[in-house]
A and B are shown apart, each in its own frame.
Chain A
Amino acid sequence: MKHSPTITQTSRSKMQATLAVARLTVAALAFTAISASVGIAQDAALTGADVKGPVTLRMVSCCKPTYFGPAVDEWNKANPDIKIEQEVIPFAQLNDILESRLRSQDSTFDILIVDPPRTAAFAAKRYLKDLTAAFTDKVKDKINPESLNAVTFQNKLYAIPVFNSTQILIYNSDMLEKAGIKPPSIKPEERTTWEQVVADAKTVKEKLKVEYGIGFSQGQSYYQLQPIIMSAGGETGLSGPNNLTPNVNNDAWKKAMSWYGGLFATGIAPRGVPFTQMDAIFTSGKAPFLATSTDRVREFQKQNLKFGVAAFPKFAGGKAYTPCDSFALGLNPYSKHQVQAAKFLEWIGTTKEGGFASAAESPNVPANLLIRDEVSMQMEKAGTNLTGLTDLIKFETSNTCVHRPASVAYIQFETAFTQKNMDIVNGADAATSLDAMQNQLKTDFSRIR
């Protein structure tokens, strides 16, 4: 009996403790449920509907201020209540900066530039606001379906495509004429081959004593190399469920990358020169050919260069492919002004005014169908020998366009590719490098949970 009170007290304490735990559990469950429901509610609706008065939105953009600058300026003039400020980040740092800021749930910016192949990873990490409900009807028939497809993940739309892109071969007409070489055709059905381009490049290099034969504007990137690899018979490099199985060391990949490395080993392409300088190599007359994207057409026109445009080559006996997709705009899921930001996205992506404003200084192929052909026609008319450019762009973006693989592991894939590609350009054996890349990707992907 002596210990009874203590036992009773202990029992009471235990009971109280149990009750307290139970209360805490219930509270935690309730909190989780509330949080979850809030989360769903936030997912369904855009924030900022209740905000009244002028707002200033911040847009994280990339590469060149001119990509979105004219559109932002025009928007700001017409919409004093929704002002946009642009923050431009170099492409090389874009992913790292966005990863860092979105991981820490940074709400200090509202709109972000989206590189389409990264949509899957960003969507899976919840770095992009789901725009399906807000935009599905608005974008129909106004934006290139291929471009929309590239920013759609698991049937949900995560960004509004602004630009599309394709690749072309630009040549120095004077140099080809002096070397007695027939220029390659702009017509897709008369598309030249890589074998022919390299042979012509060698001829010009030797006859005119120029330093190089061909430059590749984005020759470090998977974007420009993917169509070359696929024309050699390769696949995208990622396959299987969710595109998480690497396949980059098969014969076709090795053949294509050995060929590419060989161009630099033999001095046809410039080794040791950054790829950002390739345009300058061409414009300064150091190489007769430049494999590049369509936005260079107007840039070179502004420099009063004499040049011609040909369809992007394929390998003899291979199929023709061109890369496509370009920048889109998405909403920061942590932004407090999504309603206002969505208005800008709608204007730039689905109206003629917004489309022309975005194409003013950045004449990439617009994803906006309302203006695509008109912009291409403007480019074609501005040149002396660009007849057929509009048809070429239309054909390539509809028929030979190949998307980069939609995978949550695309960023790892692209990073590994760039590193191994640079090794190959700098003289490493292509087969060995691709074997190493295959192993590296397998190991990296094994940690994805």
Chain B
Amino acid sequence: MSEVARQGASGQGTPRKPDNAIKWGDAVTGYLLALPAVVALLYLRVIPAVDALWESFHQRSLFDQTQKMFVGLENYVFLFTQSPTFLQSVKVTLLFVVLTVAVQTVVALALAVLFTQKGWGMSFWRTLVFLPITIPTAVSAVVWGTAFRGDGIINGFLLRLGLDPQPFLASSSQALWSITILASWIGVGYWMVFLIAGLKDIPDEVKEAASLDGAGAFRTFFSITLPLLRRPLAFVVVANTVANFLQFVPAAILTQGGPQDSTRFVMYEIYTQAYVQGDVSLADTQIVLVLCVLLAIVAVQFRLLKAKD
């Protein structure tokens, strides 16, 4: 046996220096592996965010985008005191997020529970519910837009039932709900998958123990399943909130923010400012504000999750 092998076999006499060298080498490898992600994060997230913050204190000339002047907080003041659309877009977005996250989470949870039961063709139904997420959002929007038309299939169905046809996207009181339905049709299957994974992680023994203790299905769900599902559920709520806060396609394709600004989501507002009005500085100011709101939402939700631990 060689000296080195002997040292290795006995586990004694291993010099400290080679050990440190290995750890240092591991660290270098780790850093190198992380480097592309860090660079991408910096380049794609951090630098644009800092750039948007810097830009928000300026105003560019509409006619020469290379010319800009420092205006301090003027853009922020404008948005909160003069802009005819910004506060409305924030209100609409918050309402939409509350509605959609509630609807999607409850329905996704119900479907996840249903599809983890033993029964015929469960995989098929699960795939069917998941399918809409594989369709591009723009295509889904066009399909639903046709269905929501005054002479569309939904009104045809309502008429068959003897009910009055509805204006849907043409009504300021129904348009947001209509888009909630569309967004939920797309999103429910996706979020359901995370909840199914969470449900499958719950050990059967725990449920069996509850059953032996005389707990019924209802009690088991609320006292065992739901608490143990807290983590995937929290992820679904947080990720879903962020995703719906950034909703854009249905407004751009179906309603252009109308009727009467009832579907003017904040991302559509930002897009309009940047590419229709050509006011990049104001769009960047809105981006900074959206970023702050999203960070606050995520922080609060993670804090709540931590507090429950």
> Interface size on A (CB < 8 Å)?
37
Is the beta-carbon distance between B258 and A422 smaller than 8 angstroms? yes
Q: A103 interface residue, CB < 8 Å from B? A: yes
**Once the chains are docked, how many angstroms separate the CA of A357 from the CA of B115?**
60
Residue of B nearest to A95 (CB): B276
Task: Enumerate chain B residues within 8 angstroms of A427, measured Cβ to Cβ.
Answer: 167, 170-171, 259
Task: Enumerate chain A residues within 8 angstroms of B61, measured Cβ to Cβ.
Answer: 449
Contact indicator per residue, chain B 244-271, by CB within 8 Å of chain A (1) or not (0): 0000000000001111110000000001
Q: How far is the CB of B259 from chain A (nearest CB, A)?
A: 4
Q: B232 interface residue, CB < 8 Å from A? A: no
**Once the chains are docked, how many angstroms separate the CA of A272 from the CA of B84?**
26
Contact indicator per residue, chain B 210-245, by CB within 8 Å of chain A (1) or not (0): 000000000000000000000000000000000000
Q: A56 interface residue, CB < 8 Å from B? A: no
> Interface size on B (CB < 8 Å)?
36
**Once the chains are docked, how many angstroms separate the CA of A423 from the CA of B150?**
15
Q: A32 interface residue, CB < 8 Å from B? A: no
Q: How far is the CB of B137 from chain A (nearest CB, A)?
A: 15
Q: A189 interface residue, CB < 8 Å from B? A: no
Is the beta-carbon distance between B276 and A415 smaller than 8 angstroms? yes
Given A271-B150, A426-B258, are A449 and B167 neighbors across the interface (CB < 8 Å)? no
Q: Which of B63, B65, B84, B261 contacts A439 (CB 8 A)?
A: B84
Residue of A nearest to B155 (CB): A272
Task: Enumerate chain A residues within 8 angstroms of B167, measured Cβ to Cβ.
Answer: 271-272, 426-427
Residue of B nearest to A124 (CB): B63
Residue of A nearest to B78 (CB): A447
Q: B85 interface residue, CB < 8 Å from A? A: yes
Q: How far is the CB of B109 from chain A (nearest CB, A)?
A: 34
Task: Enumerate chain B residues within 8 angstroms of A418, measured Cβ to Cβ.
Answer: 256
Q: A195 interface residue, CB < 8 Å from B? A: no
Q: A386 interface residue, CB < 8 Å from B? A: no
Task: Enumerate chain B residues within 8 angstroms of A419, measured Cβ to Cβ.
Answer: 256-258, 261
Q: How far is the CB of B151 from chain A (nearest CB, A)?
A: 6
Q: A155 interface residue, CB < 8 Å from B? A: no
Given A408-B62, A415-B272, are A423 and B149 neighbors across the interface (CB < 8 Å)? no
Given A408-B63, A419-B257, A444-B277, are A428 and B172 neighbors across the interface (CB < 8 Å)? yes
Q: Which of B65, B78, B83, B282 contacts A103 (CB 8 A)?
A: B65
Q: A388 interface residue, CB < 8 Å from B? A: no
**Once the chains are docked, how many angstroms separate the CA of A126 from the CA of B85?**
28
Q: How far is the CB of A276 from chain B (nearest CB, A)?
A: 11
Task: Enumerate chain B residues within 8 angstroms of A412, measured Cβ to Cβ.
Answer: 276-277
The chain B residues found within 8 Å of chain A, CB to CB, are 59, 61-65, 78, 82-85, 145, 149-151, 167-172, 256-261, 271-272, 275-280, 282
**Selected A-B contacts with CB under 8 Å, 30 pairs:** A95-B276, A100-B275, A124-B63, A125-B62, A125-B63, A125-B65, A125-B278, A271-B170, A272-B167, A272-B168, A273-B150, A274-B145, A408-B62, A408-B63, A411-B278, A412-B277, A415-B272, A415-B277, A418-B256, A419-B256, A419-B257, A427-B171, A427-B259, A439-B84, A443-B84, A444-B277, A447-B282, A449-B59, A449-B61, A449-B62
The list of the 10 closest CB pairs from A to B, nearest first, reads A272-B150, A96-B275, A426-B259, A426-B170, A272-B170, A440-B84, A124-B63, A423-B260, A99-B275, A415-B276
